[in-house]
Structure 1
Amino acid sequence: MKRSEIKSRPLRDTVLNSLEPESIVYRVLDGKKLYLKVNPRGTKSWEFRYTKPDGKTSWLGLGGYPAVSASQARKKAAVIRNDIAEGIDPLAAKRARKQSRIETTNNTFEVLAREWHAAKAKSWSEGTATRIMGALALHVFPVFGKRPYIEITSMEWMEFLHALEKKGIIEQTKRIRAMCRDIYDLARVTGRIQYNPVEGLHKYLTTKPAESFAHVPASELPALLRAIRSYATHDVSIGLQLLSMLACRPSELREARWSEFDLESALWTVPAERMKRRREHLIPLPRQAVDLLRQLQFFTGYGPLLFPSKSSMAKPRSDTVFLMALRRLGYEGRQTGHGFRHIASTLLNEHGFDENHIEAQLSHVKEGVAGVYNKAQYLSQRREMMQWYADYLDKLATGNVVEMKRA
């Protein structure tokens, strides 16, 4: 259709679709200063004609047709006419709206969280950094990721955290709340917000004992130890045996590197960056642990990690590897990797070992005089204690326990 054939306005879709291009750009009035612009190549777009404060006529683009329909273009034109009636320059208003969209995009919770993560990751192990970002991506970003962080209220955060609790992930909910509180603290200390909407919410969350510390009673320990030793996946079986006798944290073992071990001296040095307290920790290795590590070297000793993932020798196994193995053995909800620490603490205390030696082995050691920390504190005593403990577990597993006396 030629523009000379237009009979009425506003323009109908049949007219808009059929308008033919000409050798030059031309505009067709739709009504109330809204025009359809037709280019020689046939592309079409909406424009609004208005008079600037200096008296000159200008055109304001409203988007291409048909991406912007006639009804959408007319609504945009109505907004512009309202701005003009209130003395607002429509071009300035358009630029302000664009800037607002940019700022909204740059000020989303996900952008802030990634800024926080990049700053904090320098002091984390690779495994910790991956685990934290994974939790945010899985639980938080789908709900709040695209929202401007300044608009999310404390009540919304409370409802979100309660929803996580209802899924039964109590401990993870606590960790996620702590992450989000720290993320908002970054915005607060840099002057981007006045208060932290997540601060104080921990007072209203569930405080029941965490499932992650579940452990079997002493009467069931022999059966558990035998089940672990017979587990089909050899490296995971070794990992569970080491967890049971060393009383270390599962993450410390899962992310361990061969360079940390001196098997000749029977000593494991866990670097500060992988410790919860950010302090280097020495773990004496009983004979049984050294034997297990030499077996494990046959499978993974050619790489940097004791427990590399199947996809990359440079990355540790999943943080659920030991937990899933215990579940497959029938101990879901009854025993976890961390629960071995509780078992060790209980048995060693019951058999009369010094509480200070036990706490040092668990890396719960207190600071000494004038805040000085001794990484080798009670090392010789702990070596004797952990050898006794490994021998005791052997006796339990083989059914040869008479009441073992300390040497």
Structure 2
Amino acid sequence: MKRSEIKRRPLADTTLAGLEPEIAAYREQDGQGLYFRVKPNGGKSWELRYKKPDGKWSWLGLGSYPEVSGAGARQKAAELRADAADGINPLTAKHARKASELEAANSTFEALAREWIEIRRSGWASSTATRTIGALELHVLPVFGKRLYASILPIEWMEFLRGMEQQGIIEQMSRVRRSCKEIYDLARVTGRAVHNPLEGLNRFLQSKPAENYAHVTAKELPTLLRAISAYPHAHDLRLGLRLLMLTGVRPSELREARWDEFDRKAGLWLIPAERMKKRRPHTVPLSRQVLDALEQLQKMTGAYPLLFPGRNDRTKPRSNMAFNMALRRMGYAGRQTGHGFRHIASTTLRENGFAKDHVEAQLSHVEDGVSGVYNKAIYLEQRRTMMQWYADHLDELERDNVVEFKQGQNR
């Protein structure tokens, strides 16, 4: 559209979008000192013509188009004209408003949450980072992200979290509550907030359901073992469930495992510190049964870096619900979870006379400090013997036999 075809002012939205550039830049008046500027390269912007306190006329840019719409430019111009009428230099007022807007943007809940994420990220395992950030981005930021964090009331957080309760996502709700409470703690300890609106809310909300670490009884264990061996669907998950049972590692540690972490000749799996809950490397001795399962699994996924690559993106591990979904398909919803295998291993080994320190070391429940590192090293061979017995024991249970542990062999 040519400028000669303009029929009315203020300029219509179709006019603003359609105005064509000319050889030289030009301005078209919108009204009351507001002008629309079009450059030869097609760039468009808003400018206000105003009189400075010294009586001279000047131009003040109000932003480019279409980032600043016609309505937005007219509102800005009205505010600056009001400032000029009060004797305030519009340029000074513009800079003050921009600083105020910037301060407000840095005071939103999302800005505070992103700051907290950057501080905490280095201490998280990758799976923890994915779960925590994902929960915030899915549930919290769309609701509170653009709000000033100091303006969100405790009752608003209560209603929001109860809404998650009603959806039945109790574990997600608990994770979100803990994260948001920590986010406000950051504001409080850095002097940007006095009170934490999530303080005490946990007393009025449901806790995480007990089935998160559910595990079968000793009497039910043989049936579970046979069900895993007979799982007819994804064979990599069948082997994954067997590996969880045989090693006692956390589901995330197995799900994110890489082939280069295994020394099958030495019968060892070294899990790097960045993937461990305690952020310290963990050595897992491998029984004959584990080595056999790894050999089978390598035929399926050995072409990829990960033991359990995702279906759609082979560079990422399977979903964090993959093992639990397999157990649900077998009919064990609420009765057995991937993490529950650790409870089975701990109970079985302790009841059969294995030393508590050896069991705790196998489960990576090692004490902090130098003594923890020392104990991990000297217990490796004891754990190798212990976990071989455990693997043999599980095989016998699956065949309806029982292997008794002789106390002397673990001394």
Normalized against structure 2, the TM-score is what? Answer: 0.77
Alignment partners' CA distance in 1, 2:238 and 2:281: 27
CA distance in 2, matches of 1:386, 1:393: 10
Question: What corresponds to 2:397 in structure 1?
Answer: 396
Displacement of 1:241 after TM fit? 0.6
Distance 1:109 1:292 in 2: 47
Matches within 5 A, 1:44-83: 50-58=50-58, 79-80=79-80, 82-83=82-83
Q: Distance in 2 between matches of 1:147 and 1:395?
A: 60
* Counterpart position of 2:409: none
Q: Which moved more, 1:146-155 or 1:321-330?
A: 146-155
What is residue 303 of structure 2 aligned with on the other side? 302
2:145 partner amino acid? G
SS at match of 1:268: strand
Give the corresponding residue for 1:207.
207
- Asked if 1:237 corresponds to 2:238, the answer is yes
Write the distance in 2 (CA, Å) between the matches of 1:388 and 1:37.
82
Partner residue of 2:137? Answer: 137
Q: Which runs of 5+ in 2 are unaligned?
A: 407-411
State which drifts further: 267-276 or 209-218: 209-218
Query: How far apart in 2 are the matches of 1:374 and 1:114?
Result: 39
How big is the alpha-carbon RMSD for the aligned residues of Structure 1 and Structure 2?
4.1
Aligned to 1:175: 175
Please show how residues 220-231 of structure 1 align to structure 2 within 5 Å: 220-231=220-231
Q: Which amino acid is 1:379 matched to? A: L
Change (3 A) 1:312 1:46: closer
- 1:313-328 alignment, distance < 5 Å: 313-328=314-329
Structure 1 residues 3-402: aligned runs within 5 Å: 33=32, 50-58=50-58, 79-80=79-80, 82-84=82-84, 86-187=86-187, 192-193=192-193, 196-198=196-198, 201-207=201-207, 209-231=209-231, 232-367=233-368, 373-398=374-399, 400-401=400-401
1:171–1:210 CA contact under 8 A, matched in 2: no
Deviations 1:225-258 (A, max 9, x none): 2221122211111000111222211011111122
The letter for the 1-side match of 2:167 is K
Which residue identity does 1:234 align to in structure 2?
A: H
Deviating more after overlay: 328-337 vs 209-218? 209-218
Contact kept? 1:266, 1:284, Cα under 8 Å: yes
- Counterpart CA distance in 2 for 1:94 and 1:322 is 57
Over residues 37-86 of structure 1, what are the superposed CA-to-partner deviations in whole Å (9 max), with x where a residue is unaligned? Answer: 79899x999876654322334466778999866x8877666644543454
Q: Which amino acid aligns with 2:258?
A: R
Residues in 1 aligned to 2:176 and 2:236: alpha-carbon distance in whole angstroms: 31
Q: Distance in 2 between matches of 1:27 and 1:266?
A: 79
Q: Distance in 1 between matches of 2:38 and 2:404?
A: 96
Kindly state the Cα deviation for residue 309 of structure 1 after the two structures are TM-superposed: 1.9
Aligned in 2, Cα 1:186/1:25: closer, same or farther, shift over 3 Å? same
Taking the aligned partners of 1:146 and 1:383, their CA distance within structure 2 comes to 54
SS in 1 for 2:376: coil
Q: Matched residue of 1:374: which SS?
A: helix
Could you tell me how far 1:361 is from its partner in structure 2? 2.1
Contact 1:34–1:74 (Cα < 8 Å) also in 2: no
Distance 1:132 1:297, change over 3 A: same
Q: Is the contact made by 2:80 and 2:94 (CA closer than 8 Å) also made in structure 1?
A: no
CA distance in 2, matches of 1:404, 1:375: 27
More divergent stretch after superposition (308-317 vs 361-370): 361-370
Residues 360 and 377 in structure 1, CA contact (< 8 A), matched pair in contact too: no
1:83/1:13 CA distance change after superposition, 3 Å: closer
Mapped contact 1:309–1:316 kept (Cα < 8 A) = yes
**Identity of counterpart residues, as a percentage?**
57
Q: Distance in 2 between matches of 1:299 and 1:132?
A: 31
TM-score normalised over the length of structure 1: 0.78
How many residues get paired? 395
Superposition deviation, residue 191 in structure 1: 5.3
Q: Flag structure 1 segments of 5+ consecutive residues without an equivalent.
A: none
